């Protein structure tokens, strides 16, 4: 391996310099993950109505269980095939991307804000606040939340809002812990003492002086979690505790195709690939962002 | 909500399982600090359990009266009252709670509502060993994959081998376990016919769900092993071992790995949490008769006694695992005891 990567060896191969530049560029910037995310998640989510060739919910019963277009019996008007109700897989995947993006953004926002605020309060005010919030974190971390999620969905109407709430409930404690730990160090620093001497109120110190210093952490944590959140949403939908069936969601599609795996593999396999590529790219992007913004956060 | 019970009459605590800083360390002997730490952690664990029990108790009560599920649709007022009295729903809430906790401590969660004639505990008791078996095997798969990848990645840092290792780990983390399960069934059971499709039986039955579940945690273990190895390989004693002329494989796999194994230990608590989610989805895929299947059927049948029991028992298990991990960690790394926080 050392032979192929040494500069001298590369220089001897024609065109290798360009390949070398491209390689360096690819290593330095997360081009491929971003491209994959744009194609699989962002563009479909934003322009679902414009790109989707068919309606995601109303099927054409005469075009049931069509295989993907490149296989025997496929039809190019259904590029990735169709399901048992004659719904176009591609269209459902495109609208599913919107569901995934919406649910994960909303859940991250809710969970991130609640967790960060609690972390700030626990770290800055300490004493009782700290004890109470940290015990809540303990409880949150010790509950089998997937089971609670199942219960919650029976309690409330299953749907996007419930899914967001359940996922946010699973997320907040990470932020609370991490933010609190950083605030504990930050609040001992000189700039906080000076702000206090200058007459700044506690609220002002927390939000004006401390929050900007933990912001990178919050952003990195959020990026690193997007992948997990998408997986979680998919798992919940798969179990029937997330997005309710007629709506397009990747997890639901995998679940619906499960019983047809022997005869119609594409029903499950293709939406699963979308989940995989999205999560993989998101994880790579998160790693890159962490190293770029703050290499000290390696532990996250 | 349980926060009012959250923290009563405590002295300043060195905080929740880990990330705490800034308290001056007193000069105390090892035994003192260890005892103090264990007592505080035990206390916190009990508080967490109380919190869990309150949440479970309230959650089940706000779902609407369980009586509606228990009694037939055409039940009269009198019938409803009788059912309520039978199950103790006519008593004041606090009394119900005390009763609930008292019974739970004796592992009695009442009779199952769906499976007449069986107690919730017997159903759970039958399911838990199956799930533990699956989770245990998955953990094994995970460690067996992660440790060599992590060590080799650290030793060959920056080379293509390192990249491939990271990619294998990352891929596992990005594959939805339930989907991986389906794909594995498709490949190995349907197309190749090597392994059984689902159910529980001999060793061959556990391979597919175990791999699907285990691969997911590889990334976490592998990353920690890798970074811990990198730290350790830089240290003086490793250099010394090399200078001494110890063979390189011995330096890496014996001297270095022994110390690098400490940080990944703390992951067991977190992994246990991840595993439950995976177990629940994979058990539905593989028709594995464990807690996941039981949970799904009970939730759908509104079999609250089973759901309550499951949530409480699993929480207790998590809390115990984390407690043991924290105490072990404090034992190995004295900085934790003095409130220095983890690494």
Asked if A93 reaches chain B (Cβ–Cβ under 8 Å), the answer is no
Residue A290 has pLDDT above 60, yes or no: yes
> C-alpha angle A134/A137/A142, rounded to 5°?
130
Stretch among A82-91, B59-68, B165-174, B332-341 having the lowest mean pLDDT: B332-341
**Could you read off the pLDDT of B308-334 as tens digits, one per residue?**
888 888 888 888 888 887 787 777 766
Residue A10 has pLDDT above 70, yes or no: no
Average pLDDT score over residue span B46-69? 75
- Say yes or no to pLDDT of A178 above 50: yes
Average per-residue pLDDT in chain A? 79
Alpha carbon distances (Å) from A157 to A29, A89, A171, A295, B91:
43, 26, 21, 43, 29
pLDDT at B20 over 50: no
Distance between CA B199 and CA A74 in Å, rounded?
34
Mean pLDDT of A111-127: 88
Distance CA(A229)–CA(A222), nearest Å, equals 10
* pLDDT at residue number A114: 92
> Among residues of chain A, what percentage have pLDDT more than 90?
2
Highest mean pLDDT out of A25-39, A97-111, B27-41, B171-185: A97-111
Say if residue B41's pLDDT is above 80.
Answer: yes
- How close is the nearest chain A Cα to the Cα of B21, in Å? 7
Task: Check residue A45 and give its pLDDT.
Answer: 74
The mean pLDDT value for B211-217 works out to 83
d(CA B186, CA B197): 9
- Compute the radius of gyration of chain A from its Cα atoms: 24
Contact at 8 Å (CB) between B51 and B1? no
Mean pLDDT value across chain B: 74
Q: What tens digit of pLDDT does each residue of A195-248 get?
A: 888 877 888 888 888 888 888 888 888 887 888 888 888 888 888 777 887 788
Mutate to test the interface with B, among A135, A261, A272, A279 (most CBs of B within 10 A): A135
Q: Look at residues B232, B191, B212 and name the one whose alpha carbon lies nearest to residue B137.
A: B212
Supply angle C-alpha B30, B47, A236, rounded to 5: 115
Cα(A135)–Cα(A235) distance, integer angstroms: 28
Per-residue pLDDT band for B16 (boundaries 50, 70, 90) equals very low
pLDDT score of B69: 61
CA gap A212, B243 in Å, rounded: 47
A269 CB neighbours in chain B (<8 A) are 182-183, 186
Q: Which residues pair with A88 in a beta bridge?
A: A82
| Number of neighbours of residue A55 by Cβ within 10 angstroms | 13
Rounded Cα–Cα distance for residues B33 and A229 (Å) = 39
Give B82-138 pLDDT, tens digit per residue. Answer: 777 766 666 777 778 888 788 778 777 777 777 777 777 878 888 888 888 888 888
On chain B, the residues whose CB falls within 8 A of the CB of A134 are 15-16
Q: Do A254 and B183 touch (CB under 8 A)?
A: no
In a mutagenesis test of the A interface, which of B44, B176, B305 is the best target, namely the one with the most A β-carbons within 10 Å? B176
Give per-residue pLDDT as tens, B286-314: 888 888 888 888 877 777 788 888 888 88
Per-residue confidence (pLDDT) for residue A2, from 0 to 100: 45
The tokens for B190 are 């349907």
Q: How many CB atoms lie within 10 A of CB B252?
A: 21
- Higher-pLDDT residue of A119 and A33 is A119
Give A 253-272 residues with CB within 8 A of chain B.
Answer: 254, 257-258, 261-262, 265, 268-269, 272
pLDDT value, residue A32: 78
How far away is chain B from the Cα of A128, in angstroms, using its nearest Cα? 8
Measure in Å the smallest separation between the Cα of B32 and chain A Cα atoms: 23
User: What is the structure's pLDDT at A300?
Assistant: 53
Quick: pLDDT tens for B232-269. 777 777 777 778 777 777 777 777 777 776 666 667 76
**Residue B343 reports pLDDT greater than 50:** no
Quick check: A173 and A141 in contact, CB under 8 A? yes
* Residue B178 clears pLDDT 80, i.e. is over it: yes
At residue A113 the predicted structure's pLDDT band, cuts being 50, 70 and 90, is: very high
Residue A110 has a pLDDT of 92
Residue B93 in contact with partner chain A when CB distance is under 8 A: no
DSSP assigned state of A64? T
Q: In this predicted model, what pLDDT tens digit does every residue of A126-143 receive, in sequence order?
A: 788 888 888 888 888 777
* Helix/strand number for chain A, H first, E second: 15, 0
Cβ contacts (< 8 Å) between A232 and chain B: which residues?
277
How would residue B67 be classed by pLDDT, with cut points 50, 70 and 90?
Answer: low
Confirm or reject contact between B22 and chain A (CB < 8 A).
yes
A104-to-A233, A239, B273 alpha-carbon distances in Å? 8, 17, 20
Q: How far apart are CA A177 and CA A172, in angstroms?
A: 9
Provide the pLDDT confidence category of residue B336 given band limits of 50, 70 and 90. low
B215 has a pLDDT exceeding 50: yes
Which has more pLDDT, A298 or A74?
A: A74
**Residues A232/A163, Cβ–Cβ less than 8 Å:** no
pLDDT at position B107 is: 78
| Residue B18 clears pLDDT 70, i.e. is over it | no
């Amino acid at each position: 391996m050392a032979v192929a990567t040494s500069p001298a060896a590369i220089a001897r191969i024609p065109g290798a310099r360009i390949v070398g530049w491209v390689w360096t560029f690819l290593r330095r910037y997360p081009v491929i993950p971003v491209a994959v995310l744009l194609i699989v998640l962002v563009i479909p989510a934003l322009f679902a109505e414009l790109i989707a060739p068919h309606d995601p919910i109303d099927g054409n019963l005469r075009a049931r269980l069509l295989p993907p277009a490149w296989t025997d019996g496929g039809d190019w008007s259904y590029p990735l095939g169709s399901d048992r109700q004659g719904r176009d897989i591609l269209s459902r995947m495109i609208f599913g991307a919107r569901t995934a993006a919406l649910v994960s953004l909303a859940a991250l926002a809710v969970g991130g804000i609640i967790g960060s605020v609690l972390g700030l309060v626990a770290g800055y005010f300490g004493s009782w606040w700290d004890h109470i919030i940290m015990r809540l974190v303990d409880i949150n971390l010790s509950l089998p939340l997937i089971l609670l999620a199942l219960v919650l969905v029976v309690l409330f109407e299953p749907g996007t809002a419930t899914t967001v709430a359940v996922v946010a409930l699973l997320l907040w404690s990470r932020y609370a812990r991490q933010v609190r730990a950083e605030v504990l160090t930050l609040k001992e620093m000189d700039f906080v003492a000076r702000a206090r001497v200058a007459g700044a109120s506690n609220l002002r110190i927390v939000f004006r002086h401390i929050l900007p210093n933990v912001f990178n952490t919050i952003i990195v944590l959020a990026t690193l979690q997007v992948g997990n959140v998408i997986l979680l949403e998919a798992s919940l939908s798969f179990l029937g505790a997330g997005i309710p069936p007629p709506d397009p969601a990747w997890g639901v599609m995998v679940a619906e195709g499960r019983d047809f795996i022997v005869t119609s593999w594409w029903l499950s396999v293709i939406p699963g690939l979308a989940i995989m590529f999205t999560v993989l790219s998101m994880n790579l992007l998160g790693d890159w962002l962490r190293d770029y913004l703050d290499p000290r956060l390696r532990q996250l | 909500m349980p926060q009012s019970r959250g923290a009563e009459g405590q002295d300043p605590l060195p905080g929740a399982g880990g990330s705490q800083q800034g308290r001056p360390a007193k000069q105390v002997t090892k035994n003192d600090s260890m005892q103090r730490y264990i007592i505080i952690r035990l206390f916190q664990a009990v508080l967490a359990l109380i919190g869990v029990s309150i949440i479970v108790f309230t959650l089940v009560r706000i779902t609407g009266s369980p009586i509606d599920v228990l009694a037939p649709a055409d039940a009269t007022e009198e019938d409803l009252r009788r059912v309520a009295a039978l199950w103790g729903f006519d008593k004041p809430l606090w009394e119900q709670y005390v009763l609930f906790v008292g019974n739970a401590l004796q592992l009695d969660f009442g009779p199952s509502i769906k499976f007449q004639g069986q107690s919730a505990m017997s159903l759970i008791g039958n399911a838990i060993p199956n799930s533990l078996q699956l989770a245990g095997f998955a953990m094994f798969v995970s460690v067996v994959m992660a440790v060599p990848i992590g060590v080799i990645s650290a030793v060959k840092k920056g080379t293509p081998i390192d990249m491939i290792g990271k990619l294998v780990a990352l891929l596992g983390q990005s594959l939805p376990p339930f989907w991986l399960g389906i794909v594995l069934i498709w490949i190995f059971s349907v197309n190749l016919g090597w392994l059984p499709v689902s159910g529980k039986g001999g060793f061959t039955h556990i391979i597919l769900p175990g791999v699907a579940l285990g691969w997911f945690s590889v990334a976490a273990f592998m990353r920690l092993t890798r970074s811990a190895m990198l730290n350790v390989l830089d240290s003086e004693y490793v250099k010394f071992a090399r200078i001494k002329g110890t063979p390189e494989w011995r330096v890496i796999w014996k001297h270095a790995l022994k110390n690098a194994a400490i940080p990944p230990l703390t992951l067991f608590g977190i992994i246990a949490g991840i595993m439950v989610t995976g177990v629940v989805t994979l058990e539905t895929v593989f028709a594995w008769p464990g807690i996941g299947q039981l949970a799904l059927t009970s939730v759908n049948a509104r079999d609250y006694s089973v759901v309550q029991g499951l949530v409480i028992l699993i929480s207790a298990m998590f809390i115990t695992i984390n407690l043991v991990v924290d105490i072990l960690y404090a034992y190995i790394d004295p900085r934790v005891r003095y409130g220095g926080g983890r690494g």
